[in-house]
Structure 1
Amino acid sequence: MNKEVAIFWFRRDLRLDDNAGLYHALKSGVPVLPIFIFDENILEKLQNTSDRRVDFIFQVLQDLKIQLQDLGSDLLILHGKPEAVWADLLSNYQVKSVFCNHDYEKYALERDFEIKEICKVKNIDFRSFKDQCIFEKQEVLSATGTPYTVFSPFMRKWKEKLNDFYTKPYPTESYFGNFCKFSLEKKWALSDIGFKKTDINYEKPKLSKSILINYKENRDFPAIVGTSHLSIHFRFGTISIRKCVKYAQQFSDTWLNELIWRDFYMNILSNFPQINEGKAFKKQYDKIPWRNNETEFKAWCEGKTGYWLVDAGMRELNQTGFMHNRVRMVVASFLCKHLLIDWRWGEAYFAEKLNDFDFSANNGGWQWASSSGCDAVPYFRIFNPESQTSKFDKELKYIKKWVPEFLSFNYPKPIVDHKFARERALKVYKEALNEVE
């Protein structure tokens, strides 16, 4: 390929349709070479070579390759440290410009800075675009020009600002003829990057009108399919956020609010860098003397706490990589407040296990549950797993599925008494926070 090319770098935007950076690349007037890099810096940190997320990405890439091959093009898949991969790319191709979409996490920002500098040395434009959220960074600010730290006013301002411009799709398909014409003989296997096949199965994301119409009534009940199950698709960009917001506007304001929470946590990440450093959003909460009992943490991880709903959630997570959002709140609250184990331990465990792991949402959820985050649940609100079961799994269908032995002699006794744990948490939190004040 001796011609001048523009490179589009797929990352958290694994789709051809309504893709901001890809649209601008295809309109640039130069044939577009699409690439994906399996980043060794990320892969080396994964605990398990049977990681469902890597398998999911691999399956999506195979689908993207087929779509591109149907257009007479292909997807160049690479593997290595990004700096080395890009140095090699820029030596082998006559690159005019590089296009991608913004990523907001600490490592991604550092990586993109490095690649931008490499491009600058060779007088190559590096252009990045907003794609994975509706409003980013400082697009939604308070009347005083500061970032919101409370969800409700952020949500109101977000909705007030929203118009058709922000949900208008990027018509990439009009420019599909501008992909480079080439084909690759190399066929990748997961083993080529040191990973194994898992039980995850990529299916193209679908929006369900029936689920959204009943979303408000059904979303808190883990035994039924009452949620969109699109979180993994948001994480890897296999569905457009603009498309989903337009759909939510039609069928479910409650689901729209959930999408706004996603933007809210991304905005928090961009505007409050201490989040990236593993610190509590509310600094005083870093003074809490966590018990951090490793035996109890192991029981929580394995779903052996003696609390049915907590154990069901953890077993679902361990076996499938998914956990219902209502249950996520219950298990997180239990770890932080019943067991007084540092929320960062739970955050790290979820980061390892969740198919849809997204740093900003995961961190936001854990800080919410531990009361240390922005607009978090107050420290004196402590979920009672038993009353949560009565409200949201009254017939025990979810519990029977994941903890079939819950009534047997083999099932463990509760790891801690709820009343005792609640009083202990209130005392520890209050003393720590009063001490800071």
Structure 2
Amino acid sequence: MSTVAVWFRHDLRCLDHRALSAACEAADSVRAVYFLCPEQLDEHVIAPIRRHYLRRALDELATQLATLGIELDIVNAGHFRALPQALSAYADKFQLEAVYAHKEWLVDEIARDEACQQALNGKLQLIDDSLINPLALSKDDGDPYKVFTPFSKRCRTYLQQQFPRCLRRPTTKGVSVIPSQCPVFGDEKPSTDWPVTEEAVLNQLRTFCAERAEDYQEQRDFPAEQGTSTLSPALALGIISPRQCLARLQAEAGEQIWEAKSGPGCWFNELLWREFYRHIAFHFPRVVKGKAFQPHTDKVAWRYDQKDFDAWREGNTGYPIVDAAMRQLKETGWMHNRLRMISASFLCKDLHIDWRWGEKHFLETLVDADFASNNGGWQWAASTGTDAAPYFRIFNPTTQGQRFDPDGRFILRYVPELNALSGKALHQPPAMDHYPAQIVDHAVARKISLALFQNLAD
């Protein structure tokens, strides 16, 4: 009887799982494996809330697979570098004819899979699971896209012509087995606000598409409102696929999804941003190595002031919208997207601190940490990335707060020491004993930012 295995990575689901479906069609007996790399997680200081979320997701995956008669083996490989040897030993132990996995597109993951392919003597079957394969689309001259808008337009045309099909759950491979449990691997912080069961995540998707997607464009920038899908943690671990999101969106919104300025079309655009940053990370691997997408901006004279960085990180800058955003991140492990832009702009354009410090802090804190999207967002904020807008886009943190949290409902949720203030005073607090003064003058900081980039041309 032939036996194959499915190697789960960032795709912890059974529905719409191309590698799992292929494995079930190919063999009589199927196993599943997930390799823990706690040393790697410690090196990169993976957020405690993300560790807990990952462990819960693995337990749920084991339960789903068990109903199909597939046992999930959770193997401690120690470090990312040890995966070829660990996978080879696993394949020998169970006499596997093949190992199926989804192709990953970051440079280190590509090198890992090449090493694993050699260790398995060609038995690793890599299957593309992308919504948009980074090699599928290019500009008319054959070069990869560097700007989001033309990329997104091309993607819409591409997907409209060949709308992605979601796969059903594979057929049962045998009697149910007892699901395995993932061990604790490091400090954890409760992640129970984020669902991991298939039913709960799909219900979350259906509710958003049916009830809130229509108003997404109008509501998405207001952190006090429940205007976003909050599906980013599930997408980051692959508990749900972008194809499932797009299919449900079309089922609820119909042809509106192709209209970029509609609510559903606007959310579709957010799915395409994820694909765009993967496209960039694949074609321009320097961004994975800590380099700026625009090489000349690596010469920006960033500051490395630990005191100012700590004030930003702890939410003690004296700018209420920035402080509320950073406290939300610290308390919940998540941050609203508009606030990610505001807080990142403040670190880079007001404090002039290297964007890589902020990028690292987000990766170490966010429950939905995703390398390509996080890197792309930080480089966008720092004006070192792909954005077509030049370096003089600098957010004013006070006016951003006034515009997107005018009555301070969000600010007061996380900065309650300002609850006696309202109106303009809430966004520009007077001197107070129990709230810090502004650590920087935005008007002065803006001029310095302009000079930092203008000096690159001198």
* TM-score under structure 2 length normalisation: 0.88
Written as runs of structure 1 = structure 2, the 5 A alignment for 1:28-427 is 28-47=26-45, 51-81=48-78, 82-120=83-121, 124-131=122-129, 133-163=130-160, 165-171=162-168, 173=169, 175-178=170-173, 183=177, 187-190=181-184, 193-196=185-188, 198-203=190-195, 204-205=200-201, 206-207=204-205, 208=208, 209-249=210-250, 250-251=252-253, 252-406=264-418, 408-427=432-451
User: Could you tell me how far 1:45 is from its partner in structure 2?
Assistant: 1.6
User: Could you tell me how far 1:202 is from its partner in structure 2?
Assistant: 4.3
The answer to whether the 8 A contact 1:8-1:21 is kept is yes
Amino acid paired to 1:176: T
The answer to whether the 8 A contact 1:369-1:376 is kept is no
User: Could you tell me how far 1:376 is from its partner in structure 2?
Assistant: 4.8
Amino acid paired to 1:317: L
Amino acid paired to 1:223: A
Helix, strand or coil at the partner of 1:422: helix
Q: CA–CA distance in 2 between the matches of 1:189 and 1:333?
A: 38
Amino acid paired to 2:440: V
Amino acid paired to 2:232: S
User: Could you tell me how far 1:335 is from its partner in structure 2?
Assistant: 0.5
Amino acid paired to 1:44: D
User: Could you tell me how far 1:277 is from its partner in structure 2?
Assistant: 1.4
Q: CA–CA distance in 2 between the matches of 1:189 and 1:162?
A: 40
Q: CA–CA distance in 1 between the matches of 2:388 and 2:354?
A: 16
- % identity of equivalent residues: 36
Amino acid paired to 2:301: P
Change beyond 3 A, Cα 1:374–1:187: closer
Residues 9-41 of structure 1: per-residue CA shift (max 9 Å, x gap): 111111100111111111113421111111234
Change beyond 3 A, Cα 1:197–1:295: closer
Q: CA–CA distance in 2 between the matches of 1:199 and 1:359?
A: 20
User: Could you tell me how far 1:107 is from its partner in structure 2?
Assistant: 2.8
Change beyond 3 A, Cα 1:5–1:259: same
Amino acid paired to 1:420: V
Amino acid paired to 2:442: H
Amino acid paired to 1:155: S
* TM-score under structure 1 length normalisation: 0.92
Residues 323-377 of structure 1: per-residue CA shift (max 9 Å, x gap): 0000100111111110111111111111111111111101100110111101254
Q: CA–CA distance in 1 between the matches of 2:227 and 2:101?
A: 34
Change beyond 3 A, Cα 1:145–1:94: same
Q: CA–CA distance in 1 between the matches of 2:87 and 2:289?
A: 28
Change beyond 3 A, Cα 1:46–1:288: closer
Q: CA–CA distance in 2 between the matches of 1:248 and 1:155?
A: 17
Please list every run of 5 or more consecutive structure 1 residues that lacks an aligned counterpart in the other structure. Answer: none
The answer to whether the 8 A contact 1:4-1:93 is kept is no
The answer to whether the 8 A contact 2:71-2:179 is kept is no
Range 83-92 or range 388-397, more displaced: 83-92
Change beyond 3 A, Cα 1:165–1:230: same
Amino acid paired to 1:247: R
User: Could you tell me how far 1:184 is from its partner in structure 2?
Assistant: 5.4
User: Could you tell me how far 1:297 is from its partner in structure 2?
Assistant: 0.7
Aligned twin of 1:9: 7
Q: CA–CA distance in 2 between the matches of 1:315 and 1:294?
A: 18
RMSD: 1.9
Q: CA–CA distance in 2 between the matches of 1:348 and 1:31?
A: 42
Q: CA–CA distance in 2 between the matches of 1:137 and 1:151?
A: 13
Amino acid paired to 2:183: A
Q: CA–CA distance in 2 between the matches of 1:166 and 1:54?
A: 34
Q: CA–CA distance in 1 between the matches of 2:13 and 2:45?
A: 27
Change beyond 3 A, Cα 1:7–1:101: same
Q: CA–CA distance in 1 between the matches of 2:70 and 2:127?
A: 23
User: Could you tell me how far 1:106 is from its partner in structure 2?
Assistant: 3.0
Q: CA–CA distance in 2 between the matches of 1:159 and 1:26?
A: 32
Q: How many residues align?
A: 422
Aligned twin of 2:429: none
Range 26-35 or range 317-326, more displaced: 26-35
Residues 151-205 of structure 1: per-residue CA shift (max 9 Å, x gap): 111111111111374411123x2x3223x65745864431xx3444524444131
Q: CA–CA distance in 2 between the matches of 1:425 and 1:404?
A: 31
Aligned twin of 1:23: 21
Helix, strand or coil at the partner of 1:353: coil
The answer to whether the 8 A contact 1:333-1:383 is kept is yes
Residues 96-140 of structure 1: per-residue CA shift (max 9 Å, x gap): 0110112222332222222111111xxx52111222x31122211
Q: CA–CA distance in 2 between the matches of 1:97 and 1:166?
A: 30
Amino acid paired to 2:313: C
Amino acid paired to 2:249: A
Q: CA–CA distance in 2 between the matches of 1:141 and 1:69?
A: 41
User: Could you tell me how far 1:242 is from its partner in structure 2?
Assistant: 0.7
Helix, strand or coil at the partner of 2:301: coil
